[in-house]
Structure 1
Amino acid sequence: MKWMDKLPTVISCCFCCFLRAGTVMIAVFSFIIGILFAPNVSHSHGFWDLNPVLSNYSSMTEMTAQMTLGIASIMLCVVSVLLLIGACCNIPILIEIYQWGAIVYSGTVILMFLILSIFCFFVHTNCYLAGGVLCIMILCYVLLTAYFVIVTNSLRLSVQFLSSSNLVI
């Protein structure tokens, strides 16, 4: 039995729509989030303008953080497309690839935000508000990723069950 099989399951997404429709919405939402933070796609500075936090230390640190977030965002876009294909075509392995991709993306973003919040709290003493906002964003990322993984896992388990049983639908 896999580790993902032990997660709790739900019967609907957001208490209002079927698992497949909810999984498609999750795929679209994840793709949009990945596109927003991918480099050179959204022409706003957003997370790419880290000068107020890291300007006193090194441009190499800033470039490393930007490239890490950019690569993770591109990876999120790819696994979101795989989730969309897996949900529409009943392919459980693609759904599982998305689950692991979402966990890796969330872990990467949480690590970057944690590093930036440590800079805000302990290095620059005048940006406690930014550090607090980053901590709240970390909490939101953890909760959102956990919910997305639970919903997609429920669809994956139901697809596996229906494909292995002799039920006629």
Structure 2
Amino acid sequence: MKYMDRLPTVISCCFCCFLRAGTVMIAMFSFIVGLIFAPNVNNTKGFWDLEQFLSYYSSVTEMVLQVILGAISIMLCIVSMMLIIGSCCNMPMLIEVYQWGACIYSIVVSLLFLVLAFMCFFIHSDCFVAGWVLCGLIVCNIGLTIYFVIVANSLRMSLVYLATTDILNL
């Protein structure tokens, strides 16, 4: 039995639109989030700039975190495109690839933000607010990812169900 089949299902996205339209909106949102953080892969100044509170002690840590964040953001852009294709072309396998990719993205970004929050709390004495903001971002990231995976899974399961029923064979 697949792990994603055990997730709860919803009948609409955001209580107002159909699953397919909601899944496309989720894919576009995920793609934009991936684009925002992707410039960090080549260590150029993008949306996420760590120089303000990490450059004093650990420039190597800063570089590694930016490269990891950039690489995982590129992966999010790729799986978001797969979600758009999968939801528009009725391909449940591509939707499942997005689900696993979104889970991996959320885990990696949460770990990166947790490292940064610990550095804010324990290494730098003047950035407690940044540490708490990072903790809040971790909670938001995990919550959104859970909801996005549940919506995408609901569409995937409905596509699998429709493909196995005799409704399409009339």
Work out whether residues 92 and 156 of structure 1, in 8 Å CA contact, stay in contact via their aligned partners in 2. yes
**Residues 17-96 of structure 1: matches in 2 within 5 Å?**
17-39=17-39, 45-47=46-48, 49-96=49-96
Whole-Å Cα distance in 2 between the matches of residues 44 and 22 of structure 1? 32
**Residues 65-144 of structure 1: matches in 2 within 5 Å?**
65-144=65-144
| Letter aligned with residue 26 of structure 2 | I
| Letter aligned with residue 116 of structure 1 | L
For the residue of structure 2 that corresponds to 1:90, the secondary structure is coil
For the residue of structure 2 that corresponds to 1:39, the secondary structure is helix
Residue 40 (structure 1) shift: 6.6
Q: Which moved more, 1:59-68 or 1:95-104?
A: 59-68
Aligned to 1:152: 152
Tell me, which stretches of 5 or more residues in structure 1 are unaligned? Answer: none
Whole-Å Cα distance in 2 between the matches of residues 147 and 46 of structure 1? 25
Question: Which string of whole-angstrom CA distances, capped at 9 and with x for unpartnered residues, describes residues 96-140 of structure 1?
Answer: 000000011111110110000000111111111100100010000
Whole-Å Cα distance in 2 between the matches of residues 110 and 117 of structure 1? 10
| Letter aligned with residue 108 of structure 1 | V
Residue 52 (structure 1) shift: 2.5
TM-score of the two chains, using structure 1 as the length reference: 0.94
TM-score of the two chains, using structure 2 as the length reference: 0.94
Whole-Å Cα distance in 2 between the matches of residues 117 and 58 of structure 1? 14
Tell me, which stretches of 5 or more residues in structure 2 are unaligned? Answer: none
Any runs of at least 4 consecutive aligned residues in structure 1 with deviations exceeding 6 A, and if so which? none
Work out whether residues 8 and 150 of structure 1, in 8 Å CA contact, stay in contact via their aligned partners in 2. yes
For the residue of structure 1 that corresponds to 2:160, the secondary structure is helix
Residue 44 (structure 1) shift: 5.9
| Superposition RMSD in Å | 1.6
Aligned length: 167
Whole-Å Cα distance in 2 between the matches of residues 7 and 159 of structure 1? 15
For the residue of structure 1 that corresponds to 2:166, the secondary structure is coil
Work out whether residues 106 and 142 of structure 1, in 8 Å CA contact, stay in contact via their aligned partners in 2. yes
Work out whether residues 117 and 135 of structure 1, in 8 Å CA contact, stay in contact via their aligned partners in 2. yes
Whole-Å Cα distance in 2 between the matches of residues 79 and 52 of structure 1? 31
Whole-Å Cα distance in 2 between the matches of residues 134 and 126 of structure 1? 15
Work out whether residues 53 and 116 of structure 1, in 8 Å CA contact, stay in contact via their aligned partners in 2. no
Question: Which string of whole-angstrom CA distances, capped at 9 and with x for unpartnered residues, describes residues 117-169 of structure 1?
Answer: 00011111111110010001000001000000000000000000000111148
For the residue of structure 2 that corresponds to 1:46, the secondary structure is coil
Whole-Å Cα distance in 1 between the matches of residues 57 and 91 of structure 2? 47
